[in-house]
Structure 1
């Protein structure tokens, strides 16, 4: 990477960090390019060399987060996860997903928050759905039913995102990823125990 590329990367990073700061302070609707430039310690001309407006900054930031999240979510294999949970062990790919969330906790919290982007939670759910739902659907014939699959996808992805948001919203980043994975494990085991009561 050339010095020019490094400078471009660092400037774009500064602008994205400025966006997060401004969203927390005034909400996305009231963010202006002028204040982004001031917060990023650049002039407006420099801003426009990299982005055309605040919406493009938001899209770049969201896509960056989603790409990294997806790189870990795609390693989750539900059958392996269930077998691991049944043996009372933590599932390593889950831990890697939580590590990703923890590393970017501030960004996820701001964008998922009331002042951020309402569409971002749907995009996160889509990442989980694309890589986990299809793998679960083939386990049982019921999972092949399109209507069931749609509602199960909504239930599953909302549950995953709900755990993540609870963690972020309550400032529990001091809870390490292994502890969060254990809570996730306990939730899944609890649901499994409830299901077994029907037998």
Structure 2
């Protein structure tokens, strides 16, 4: 990476970091390019070299997060996960997903909270449900049925997102990645046990 590319990257990162701070303080609606530039210690001309408006900053930040998250979700193999859980062991790809969310907890909290972005929530659900459904369809013929698939997708993604949102709630922020992976493990085992009743 050249010095010029490094400076461009750092400026964009500063703008994105500032956007999160501004959303926390005043909400996305009231964020202005003028205040973004001021808080990021750049002039408006520099801002416009990188982004056309605050919506483009938001889109870039969301995509960056989703790409990183998807990289970890792709490592999840449901069959392997269930076998690992049955043995009473933590499934490492789940741990890595929680580590990713913990690393970016502040940003996820903003996007998934009350001031959040419904578009981001839907995209995040798709990251989880598409990957898991594709893996499940290899072992469960039932997922080929389009109507069942649609509702399974809604069920899986809402359940996973609900767990993440509960964890990111400020009252649960002391729960570590390992503790969260253990809770997730217990939830999966609990659901699996229900199926055998």
TM-score normalised according to structure 2 size:
0.96
Structure 2 stretches of 5 or more lacking a match?
A: none
**Residue aligning to 2:80:** 80
| Runs (5+) with no aligned partner, structure 1 | none
Give the equivalent residue in structure 2 for 1:104.
104
Alignment of 1:126-165 (within 5 A): 126-165=126-165
- Residue 16 of structure 1: how far off its partner (Å): 0.3
Mapping 1:43-62, distance limit 5 Å? 43-62=43-62
CA spacing shift, 1:42–1:171, aligned 2, 3 Å? farther
Could you report, residue by residue, the CA deviation over 1:58-106 in whole angstroms, capped at 9, with x for unpaired residues? Answer: 0000000000001110010000000000000000011111111111111
| Structure-2 change in CA distance of 1:44 and 1:171 (3 Å) | farther
Q: How many angstroms apart in 1 are the aligned matches of 2:137 and 2:118? A: 28
* Cα separation, partners in 2 of 1:171 and 1:71, compared to 1, 3 Å: farther
> TM-score, length-normalised on structure 1?
0.96
Asked if the contact 2:85/2:91 (under 8 Å) is kept, the reply is yes
8 A Cα contact 2:130 2:153, kept in partner: no
- Aligned residue in 1 for 2:117: 117
Q: What is the CA distance between 1:171 and its match in structure 2? A: 4.6
**Structure 1 residues 166-195: Cα deviation after superposition (integer angstroms, max 9, x where no partner):** 111235343221110100011111111112
Once the 2 structures are TM-superposed, how far is the Cα of residue 3 of structure 1 from its aligned partner? 1.1
Query: Partner of 2:63 in structure 1?
Result: 63
Alpha-carbon distance between aligned partners in 2 of 1:59 and 1:164, rounded to the nearest angstrom: 21
SS of 1:174's equivalent in the other structure is coil
CA contact (8 A) 1:73 1:128 kept: yes
Is residue 26 of structure 2 the alignment partner of residue 26 of structure 1? yes
How many residue pairs are counted as aligned between the two chains? 197
Q: In the TM superposition, what is the alpha-carbon distance from 1:114 to its structure 2 partner?
A: 1.7
Distance 1:183 1:107, change over 3 A: same
User: Which range moved further: 110-119 or 69-78?
Assistant: 110-119
- Cα distance in 2 for partners of 1:8, 1:174 equals 35
Distance 2:116 2:37 in 1: 19
Q: CA RMSD in A?
A: 1.1
2:21 is equivalent to residue 9 of structure 1: no
